[in-house]
Amino acid sequence: MKPTALRLGALALSVVLLAGWTLACTETARHGGSDEFPVTVDGAQEFAQQSQSTLLDLMVEGGRAEWVKATYITEDTQALAAAANEEITAASVRMAKEAARFDDLDLSYDTRRQLALLKQALTLPAPSDPEKTAEVARLAASLDSAFGTGKYCRTDEDCLTLDEMILTMATSRNPDELLELWSGWRQVSPPMRADFARLVKLVNEGAAELGYSDLGTMWRSKYDMEPNDFSAELDRLWDQVRPLYEKLHCHVRAKLSESYGAEQVPLDQPIPAHLLGNMWAQTWSNVYDLVAPADADPGYDLTQRLVASGMEPRDIVRAGEAFFSSLGFDPLPETFWTRSQFVRPRDRDVICHASAWSLDYQDDLRIKMCISINAEDFNTIHHELGHNYYQRAYNEKPLLYQDSANDGFHEAVGDTIALSVTPKYLVEIGLLDTVPDPSKDIGLLLNQALDKVAFLPFGLLIDQWRWRVFSGEVSPDEYNDAWWTLREQYQGVRAPVARAVGDFDPGAKYHVPANVPYTRYFLAHILQFQFHRALCEVAGDDGPLHRCSIYGNKAAGEKLIAMLEMGASRPWPEALQAVTGQTEMDATAILDYFAPLSEWLDGQNEGRSCGY
């Protein structure tokens, strides 16, 4: 799994994600003021309709400007993005305040919901002061670009991109080399620290103007429940899956200690973050070879199979499209293939972080990614295409409904499809000769768990940290200490070397400087298994959940399409019910999926000292 910075619809009127939408909001502000829209039922309805109409007309042009900035990083494109952000932030705050004028009216369901979505649309609300609005825009663009252009340079001539370091960390077993790269990348983020702290102060002012105590409260208000109730919901879901995570952690730590020695990996401490095969220790599948027993070989190596097949990046995308077509989705438009970025250009800086875009809110769908021929990117393509097909499924809805039921849904759809990338599916598309017998399942499940289960606490802690920062509980001088406290608490992972007050390790993770809320990825990991279990039942597959693939099943596809077409028009429990029959998120599907592995881990951990 590779989390993505998704191009959402109108609900993501963020100064970062949708910088190019500025003109749209500016025009709305110019054409819509309190005099034009009286505080009446008709006035509210007209305001909602005209806001969306004007936004839609101009978002297309603005989205293209943001695409250019992401795929061609220069001082000029950064300046254009900053200028655009300045206007969108000011106008969006204005629109949110305008929407709030109608709060006391007895409105129709659609008008009320659309106005609520409009009020909650901002990710980074700036204060009304024009100078502060401009400052928020500059800071957001600067932080985003600082990450995108970051490199680790040993000398002036010897510099490594993040992509190159990620590949080395996935394969190297030299702890000194791993530590160098881990530490080297974190030299990029300390200069971000002061800008981030200033940005927090400004956007908290903006959130206060909209009636929220801080930005974290505002973010948590977007889930069709009270902010405190949403926090409790996250705790409930984490409690469901934490025992499985703790079993996995205990086994991985023990095996890494065998490989690297007890001095490197003590059995009574959190795991050093640089030894888990990932720059952020967010997924652990790259150390599968170190933690899997000899008799649990999964029976094949998908990366090797992909390389041996001669597939190019575009071929991997075609394979993902074919999966969706097998469920009854229409093929992607030709413009998708001519306008997407599939590989890193040689002549310019780009943001390679995978993302899916809909630039015209109809059929101008695109992916921005730097694809490598490996299993991770094969799965990521299915994830990204899930966004694109979702975007097209709801494209006939009013603009404010052109989004997922909640942001976790958007992330979950593609990953639900990726859960069907089973040996059975790989045989059907010619990447595997035969389906391995059930004796290989532990290896397959362990490999999956090193991605899916290992990610769960990481998916929670990033926003747990940010919410504490936004509330003032964590001051700038405490940023790094609070970060590692949470990482040890949730993940049982520690910094491999001493960290200083001036370090800013959260900034080494894309979503922090890019100001992308992260709880969506935790929710997506819960929802994808819940969706998978329900769709497998629709498909009539009563075998082990981890062996089910819905590839080619039109009945499952119809169920999924029906949910996607709802967009954000209904509260998320109704969208959830459309696929699963449940109105509450339920992590027990993860436990069902990994049940054989959980039993195996119990046997492996017998006699070990677990906990962190």
**Catalytic residue set:** 353-354, 383-384, 387, 411, 511, 521
d(CA 140, CA 144): 6
Query: Are the C-beta atoms of 96 and 166 separated by less than 8 Å?
Result: no
Q: Kindly give, in sequence order, each residue whose CB lies less than 8 Å from that of residue 67, ignoring residues fewer than 6 positions away.
A: 20, 357, 359, 366, 368
Q: Which region, left, alpha or beta, applies to residue 434 given φ > 0 means left and ψ of -120 to 50 means alpha?
A: beta
What residues form DSSP beta bridges with 365?
358
Task: Say if residue 295 is exposed, middle or buried (CB neighbours under 10 Å; 0-12, 13-18, 19+).
Answer: exposed
Query: Are the C-beta atoms of 122 and 96 separated by less than 8 Å?
Result: yes
| Token code pair at residue 134 | 């401009």
From the list 34, 92, 35, 33, the residue with the least C-alpha distance to 58 is 92
What Rg do the C-alpha atoms of the chain give, in angstroms?
A: 23
Backbone φ, ψ for residue 367 (5° rounding): -120, 140
3-state secondary structure 293-345: CHHHCCCCCHHHHHHHHCCCHHHHHHHHHHHHHHCCCCCCCHHHHHHCECCCC
According to DSSP, the β-strands at 493-494 and 365-368 are unpaired
**Of all helices (H) and strands (E), which one includes residue 218?**
helix 215-220
Backbone φ, ψ for residue 38 (5° rounding): -65, 160
Quickly tell me which residue has 């769960």 as its tokens: 456
Q: What's 591's DSSP letter?
A: H
Query: Are the C-beta atoms of 387 and 4 separated by less than 8 Å?
Result: yes
| Token code pair at residue 62 | 């603005």
Instruction: Please name the amino acid found at residue 208.
Output: A
Query: Are the C-beta atoms of 87 and 25 separated by less than 8 Å?
Result: yes
d(CA 518, CA 535): 26
d(CA 115, CA 45): 9
Q: What's 366's DSSP letter?
A: E
